[in-house]
Structure 1
Amino acid sequence: MWQKQGDGNFSNDDPAMEDVFEKGTGPKRFRYSELAIATDNFSDERKLGEGGFGSVYRGFLKESNLEVAIKRVSKGSKQGKKEYAFEVTIISRLRHRNLVQLIGWCHGGGELLLVYELMPNGSLDAHLYGSKNGTGTVLPWKVRHEIVLGLGSALLYLHQEWEQCVLHRDIKPSNVMLDASFAAKLGDFGLARLVDHGRGAHTTVLAGTMGYMDPECMNTGRTSTESDVYSFGVLLLEIACGRRPLALAEEEHIVHLAQWVWSMYGDGRVLDAADPWLEGDFDDQEMERVMVVGLWSAHPDRSLRPSIRQAVSVLRCEQPLPILPARMPVATFVYVPLQLDASSWGSYGVIGGGSSGTETMTGRSVSLRSKTLVEGQVTGR
């Protein structure tokens, strides 16, 4: 798709796409020298973090007196180049208060660079677990609940309210950024795909993050709004419980968070799954709604999950809580082993959940928690 020209710039074979780059109404094109100056020549002191496709740096644009986050796409990453083109031509057109805004772009000096608004409070991931690692304070329930509602609003916009349906395909806490007021903004659209409204499941190569991926999607590669809703449901449970989606249980099996919470729901004590670090300081009705909507959204059978509009309506107390089975149902699809490099992260099997089945994953649990599947490949994220 992309070719490197003699002057070190990247351009697309399709002149129409280059025209979109140049005449886009939103983000502006920056010179490489501007962004190098803004980041002290991409110094390590300015580095905010490193993702699957490149590093992110804190920058300051003197001309506009603006602090920004600049993503420097890895030069050897084919997926990174796809992400760059997709974000500039598509994601730049999205406008929603709960989406990270793309400010500008640059393909010059042999580099691919994306410029975003800076999120002063970093990622949700850091705040959910920072206090437990001794590096931060507990995120209050009121803030968590607003984050839930904001993410629901963002996903509703992506799935139903924009001109096309945008499948994010990698919803997780590290891709949720927090602004100065701790308002949530969904970012990192590197794995996103566009589909027409009402098209249904989209067959593609496997992509996403272990623990947040729809079990059926892991098996078939069929992504859809339902698979995004599954990831959203897992994220809701994680926000409410303060626990990672995968945890070791007996016999070194890894139990999914949804299975653990569902067992408490069936026993009539779902609030016992609330993050103990909150010390009971939360609204019981709000907590119950977040957990039950989380379970509903993470239902093993994608046909029984809510649409994102239904989920948001229940979270906003506009609709009553659904009544779910007392035990987590068993997934109904047929398991077919995926042809992936098992030596990289171990093997896994998904067989639903509940009283007559469990979701288990075997292999190296530590690496499972930190791996992202990108177009059928495994990468640290």
Structure 2
Amino acid sequence: MAGPNKRGSCRFNIHVSKHILTTIVLNWFFFVLLLRNGSPTSAPDIEGEALIDLLKVLNNSNHKITDWNDFYVTPCSGWSHVTCLSGHVTFLSLSSNGFSGTLSPDICKLKFLDSLELQDNSLSGELPGCLSSLMNLQTLDLSHNRFSGTIPSSWAQLKNLKHLDLSENDLSGTIPLQLYSARTFNFTGTNLECGTRFQKPCDSGSSLKVATRKSKVELVMIAASCGAFFLLLLGAAFTYRRQQHLKFKNEVFVDVAGEDEGKFSFGQVKRFSWREIQIASDNFNESNIIGQGGFGKVYKGKLMDNTQVAVKRLTDYHNPGGEAAFLREVQLISVAVHKNLLRLIGFCTTASERILVYPYMKNLSVAYRLRGDLKPGEEGLDWPRRKKIAFGTAHGLEYLHEHCNPKIIHRDLKAANILLDDNFEAVLGDFGLAKLVDAKLTHVTTQVRGTMGHIAPEYLSTGKSSEKTDVFGYGITLLELMTGQRAIDLSRLEEEEDVILVDHIKKLLREKRLHDIVDSNLTAYDPNEVERIVKVALLCTQNAPEDRPRMAEVVKMLQGVGLDERWAEWEMLEEVRSQELQLTLMKHRLAWMGESMDEQEAMQLSAAR
């Protein structure tokens, strides 16, 4: 009995060691990311914990938010409803999610918060006074909830607040006078002390209306003294102005003065007026939101000629990173013209806004088609479409790397940034993190940004990005396209599988389990083509950037040219890496058992197993 028990114990220890190693790798992965995100390393931890604690008291009983968890240490690693800048949470949009709890003071731990949107829920309780500590806060929308009590007097310290909406709540008491300095405010539908009785308007539109009525009375008195003829002229003028006001009634809430005519010039790209953008987006109607990127929301819209567009409204442009992102995206997308790259229609700039206008992609993104809850009548991605997307994305990246001078590195390649036109042609978008690279430079050192699981190892550990960084992201995207799974999925631990998709696919490929690799939603596919694309993906995701192919080579290998030779080299390298890993695990196991073994003995035992 001793022999079998010993062998069973050995298998168990190796199995445990594998999971321990996976845990160590994941912990290191996230730890390095924290180190590279700048600012104190504890800041992302604080913000992540604050958001998780906040979600608990919001009462997420309908499970609208499922991707906030302790395993993803920083919320900037791709949490939904969260936008980050320089490694900190700056935008939190939780409107219309059916929350019925309270607003926890944990919200005040998000010290870099610029915008907080919680409207159209059923939140109750008192307003947290600690919000006054959020000195960067510019937009606060808590409308259409059940908040009670008074507005904390400490909110008077919110000097940068520009947009405040507390309407339709059970609030009472006085309003700190300093809050009236916000560009737009709305206290209607509450019991707060405002209105003519208190000589203060309840919303930013009321003051204009009061002034309009006052001016009207004065003008009528003057007209009466000057005669009926002048009164008729005044009536005609007033009627005209009233018609114009009704036509653009929403504009009383927006300061359009100071449109930056001539500050930016981008060749033939159209400059839109603020009024055109307002009309196109239905004054940025929340129901028109089709996406949210790192620097703002994207709205579906329609121009005056009925052209459907996507209107990207930057929320953080006033910060150095946001303004840089706007200029970068316009600059890059203006010079890079290719059928697989998103075309820029135009832009709009005012003293307080930065807007980009793109063609509307009715099939949205690859991520949506892979993982979204498709509506009735919406089509998924069959095998021909997935193959088409793989090729189209490769052609777009090849153009950026090989045919642009200087070359362009995208740096955030993922399924969510690959849009689909009417014919399901891949269109690479979101150049907010892209970089122009001098051909003489082999890499660029920057602060690490991107999406967890898609970040190349060398970029994560050193901050050095190159075109090979994009190649890694492309390889991960190919695997997601083939499997329908995410780059990192902790649920695979429950099935005793690797949580990192690349390792999971390597194992399945070694075991000849091609059918387990393919997305279960794919009922018909060509096994040979799937295997070819998976092999290309694994070549693209090698740890060492110098081992990865260039995108020009990737395009050829997708067609089968030169793939066999590169794959044979890869298999030899993988065998060496596998032996090194087994040796490491064996040494660790023996160290835990208090035994020792020289390297030659360990290698012989490892090979025998």
For the residues of structure 1 that align with 2:581 and 2:438, how far apart are their CA atoms?
A: 34
Which segment drifts farther, 34-43 or 79-88?
Answer: 79-88
1:239 aligns with 2:493: no
Q: Is the 8 A contact 2:365 2:416 kept in 1?
A: yes
Q: 1:328 to 1:125 in 2, by over 3 A?
A: farther
Aligned-pair CA distance for 1:164:
1.4
For the residues of structure 2 that align with 1:326 and 1:274, how far apart are their CA atoms?
A: 25
Q: Is the 8 A contact 2:361 2:420 kept in 1?
A: yes
Aligned-pair CA distance for 1:309:
0.9
For the residues of structure 1 that align with 2:310 and 2:433, how far apart are their CA atoms?
A: 19
Q: 1:77 to 1:140 in 2, by over 3 A?
A: farther
Q: 1:114 to 1:131 in 2, by over 3 A?
A: closer
| Secondary structure at 1:55 match in 2 | strand
| Secondary structure at 1:227 match in 2 | helix
Q: Is the 8 A contact 1:141 1:278 kept in 2?
A: yes
TM-score by length of 2: 0.49
Q: Is the 8 A contact 1:266 1:325 kept in 2?
A: no
Q: Is the 8 A contact 1:27 1:103 kept in 2?
A: yes
Which segment drifts farther, 258-267 or 292-301?
Answer: 258-267
Q: 1:116 aligns with which of 352, 358, 364?
A: 358
Q: 1:325 aligns with which of 568, 571, 575?
A: 571
Q: 1:354 to 1:195 in 2, by over 3 A?
A: farther
Aligned-pair CA distance for 1:253:
9.6
Aligned-pair CA distance for 1:54:
0.6
Give the equivalent residue in structure 2 for 1:285. 528
Give the equivalent residue in structure 1 for 2:216. none
Unmatched segments (≥5 aa) in structure 2: 1-255, 586-609
Q: 1:168 to 1:292 in 2, by over 3 A?
A: same
Aligned-pair CA distance for 1:109:
5.1
Aligned-pair CA distance for 1:40:
1.1
Question: Which amino acid counterpart does residue 299 of structure 1 have in structure 2?
Answer: Q
Give the equivalent residue in structure 1 for 2:466. 224
Number of corresponding residues: 322
For the residues of structure 1 that align with 2:581 and 2:425, how far apart are their CA atoms?
A: 35
For the residues of structure 2 that align with 1:330 and 1:71, how far apart are their CA atoms?
A: 48
Question: Which amino acid counterpart does residue 316 of structure 1 have in structure 2?
Answer: Q
Aligned-pair CA distance for 1:49:
2.0
Q: 2:505 aligns with which of 261, 278, 284?
A: 261
- Note the 1:170-319 alignment, pairs <5 A: 170-248=412-490, 249-250=492-493, 255-279=499-523, 281-319=524-562
Q: Is the 8 A contact 1:259 1:328 kept in 2?
A: no
For the residues of structure 1 that align with 2:323 and 2:575, how far apart are their CA atoms?
A: 40
For the residues of structure 2 that align with 1:260 and 1:354, how far apart are their CA atoms?
A: 16
Residue by residue over 1:47-96, the C-alpha shift from the partner in whole angstroms, topping out at 9 and shown as x without a partner, is: 2122221111111111x331100100004554222111112223211110
For the residues of structure 2 that align with 1:215 and 1:255, how far apart are their CA atoms?
A: 16
1:106 aligns with 2:348: yes
| Structure 1 vs Structure 2 CA RMSD | 2.8
Give the equivalent residue in structure 1 for 2:598. none
Unmatched segments (≥5 aa) in structure 1: 1-5, 332-352, 359-381
For the residues of structure 1 that align with 2:274 and 2:365, how far apart are their CA atoms?
A: 27
Q: Is the 8 A contact 2:453 2:487 kept in 1?
A: yes
Task: Name the structure with the higher strand share.
Answer: 1
Percent of matched pairs sharing the same residue: 35
Give the equivalent residue in structure 2 for 1:372. none
- Note the 1:41-190 alignment, pairs <5 A: 41-62=283-304, 64-75=305-316, 77-108=319-350, 110-130=352-372, 137-190=379-432
Q: 1:236 to 1:164 in 2, by over 3 A?
A: same
Q: Is the 8 A contact 2:270 2:345 kept in 1?
A: yes
TM-score by length of 1: 0.78
| Secondary structure at 1:115 match in 2 | strand
Q: 2:279 aligns with which of 37, 60, 83?
A: 37
Aligned-pair CA distance for 1:272:
3.2
For the residues of structure 2 that align with 1:357 and 1:173, how far apart are their CA atoms?
A: 35
Aligned-pair CA distance for 1:263:
1.4
For the residues of structure 1 that align with 2:313 and 2:576, how far apart are their CA atoms?
A: 43
Q: 1:277 to 1:255 in 2, by over 3 A?
A: same
Q: Is the 8 A contact 1:290 1:315 kept in 2?
A: yes
Which protein has the larger Cα radius of gyration, Structure 1 or Structure 2? 2
Task: Name the structure with the higher helix share.
Answer: 2
